[in-house]
Chains A and B, each alone.
Chain A
């Protein structure tokens, strides 16, 4: 029996860096119209996502994570910088960048099968060809037995798996996911994280995954992009730091116990929840305590 060589994170980072860049953002900036002129939501974002990379994006609420995802997907306009796919600048959405939304966004008038078929159908495939492609991806997410259901007959977890299958059936270069598991209970979320790791390991896909769950961010990522919220030096969201996770893939949930995981997790904590001066604790008025009544000891 041959023993595995020890994992070398630096060597792995070098292997990733040698791969071609699939999706690139150069000096990306975006403003929204506000009450007093335009308000920046995002500025100076430089990113290069390499083939088969799994990048998670974290940051405080309002730091522009969704805005970034929508710009990369081409759904929102940006007002400075550019987005490149395989080195070519892109404007507007396209089948090369699939997206999965937190709110599922399945087409309610199509069955599960019909939903997964839409991408291939839009691309001009015939009904039968589209159906066989869709079936493969439904099998990949383990939902082929629900092919004839309507979306409203599915649970949240099932809907999100259908949405993932639908996006993947188009064989996009990059899959963008904006808090896809944000609305799911912890158990379902853990299951879907496992499914996603398997998917990513088995099919040639590059993933950009937005989340506010820091454990999730570390568990899934090759690399974590940390956005900063508005502060004294920045009017909107900005690129704060990029962290490479020094753990082998594919990962199982027990990596949370490893010292490398803890180290990355603590770094994220310090970036996203900087130690604030402790605020005086609000005292609950006595009459409300009395009204609460029941003794919970």
Chain B
């Protein structure tokens, strides 16, 4: 009976217990990591390739080659029939899935040893460049999108004027404007920033307009009966009323900005973290490719948590009980 009661609590929608602590957060990160470890270190789970150690009598194999298990077995059978020495090797995963320890080592290497080709940027330089692009692109989008969104949410006329057309534009994939952006802004950062702006400003307008509309009308009524002018309603009621929700909207939209960034950086002269990842891919350094991808995730997670903490400081009236 008791355990049944405990079980039931798991299904209480928005209930308090259990799983509110850090335990689940840790499990949430650990579980995929463990899965990755298992696939990497337990041979019979996947390991579809053989890394050839010595070719034996084989003419086609060479030490260090990766061949599919079936091809390896067929070759060895042929070698046995011909009476030659068999090839030897170890079961491994494909080259594009490096093991966790290899990625960890690469992570350290990326920060400690200079890039292979002189002139190539370090990992942190690539990341910083990407962050700068995001800051400029998304910053501009906020500057334009948030005020427009609030106006759309506050005034039906503005909403009619702006939102349907925005909704149309939003469906045109921003990267498709790449060639145009290069023609206008050259090949360095200009076109990349403009693509990020284009891709994030439209959803920002629509999301902020919706957030503005969802402000409790009763608060606006209350302000009106307290003698607020239209301007005062907008500045002293609507703005503070929607601020926490807008803050959260922007946190989510920042994620979308990163998604666009990866495509935007391929436009014109490739740069930033996309360049780093692409370059490493060309060298077939997949451990470094993983480092690049994980680094983006870590930067995103970190900024989001910092923004969440700032939000809690800015809006103390949101749950202090």
Give residues in A with beta carbon < 8 Å to B: 73-75, 92-95, 97-99, 101, 103, 105-110, 118-119, 121-123, 150-153, 166-167, 170, 176
Contact = CB atoms under 8 A, between A and B. Distances in A.
Given A93-B224, A95-B227, 4 more contacts: A107-B219, A108-B241, A122-B229, A153-B321
> 9 tightest CB-CB pairs across the interface, nearest first?
A95-B227, A93-B224, A99-B225, A105-B222, A119-B226, A105-B218, A109-B240, A150-B317, A122-B228
A73 B229 CA distance: 15
Nearest to B320: A150
Nearest to B222: A105
A109 B317 CA distance: 6
A108 B315 CA distance: 10
A94 B241 contact: no
B237 A107 contact: yes
B232 A75 contact: no
B315 A109 contact: yes
Interface size class of B (residues with CB under 8 A): 20 to 34
B221 interface: yes
Contacts of A101: 218, 221-222
B91 to A, nearest CB: 60
Nearest to A102: B218
Contacts of A152: 317, 319, 321
A99 B317 CA distance: 24
Instruction: Report which residue of B226, B229, B232 has the largest number of chain A beta carbons within 10 angstroms of its beta carbon.
Output: B226
A119 B228 CA distance: 8
A101 B222 CA distance: 8
Contacts of B237: 107
B233 to A, nearest CB: 9
A107 B241 contact: yes
B218 A103 contact: yes
Instruction: Report which residue of A73, A97, A99, A107 has the largest number of chain B beta carbons within 10 angstroms of its beta carbon.
Output: A107
22 contacts: A73-B225, A97-B225, A99-B221, A101-B222, A105-B219, A105-B222, A107-B219, A108-B317, A109-B315, A109-B317, A118-B223, A122-B227, A122-B228, A122-B232, A123-B227, A150-B316, A150-B317, A150-B320, A151-B317, A152-B321, A166-B226, A167-B225
Contacts, number: 76
Given A75-B221, A101-B221, A170 B315 contact: no
A167 B226 contact: yes
Contacts of A97: 225
B307 interface: no
Contacts of A153: 320-321
Nearest to A75: B221
A75 B226 contact: no
A99 B315 contact: no
Interface string B257-291: 00000000000000000000000000000000000
Interface string B227-255: 11100100011001101000000000000
Nearest to A175: B225
Nearest to B225: A99
Interface in B291-321: 315-317, 319-321
A150 B315 CA distance: 11
Nearest to B232: A122
A98 B321 contact: no
Contacts of B227: 93-95, 119, 122-123, 170
Nearest to B228: A122
A106 B229 CA distance: 18
Nearest to A101: B218
Contact of A105 (B221, B232, B240, B315): B221
A105 B216 CA distance: 9
A255 B227 CA distance: 37
B232 A99 contact: no
A97 B224 CA distance: 10
A72 B216 CA distance: 21
Nearest to B224: A93
B221 A170 contact: no
B46 to A, nearest CB: 52
A40 B8 CA distance: 49
A85 to B, nearest CB: 13
Contacts of A93: 221, 224-225, 227
A97 B225 CA distance: 6
Instruction: Report which residue of A75, A98, A122, A123 has the largest number of chain B beta carbons within 10 angstroms of its beta carbon.
Output: A122
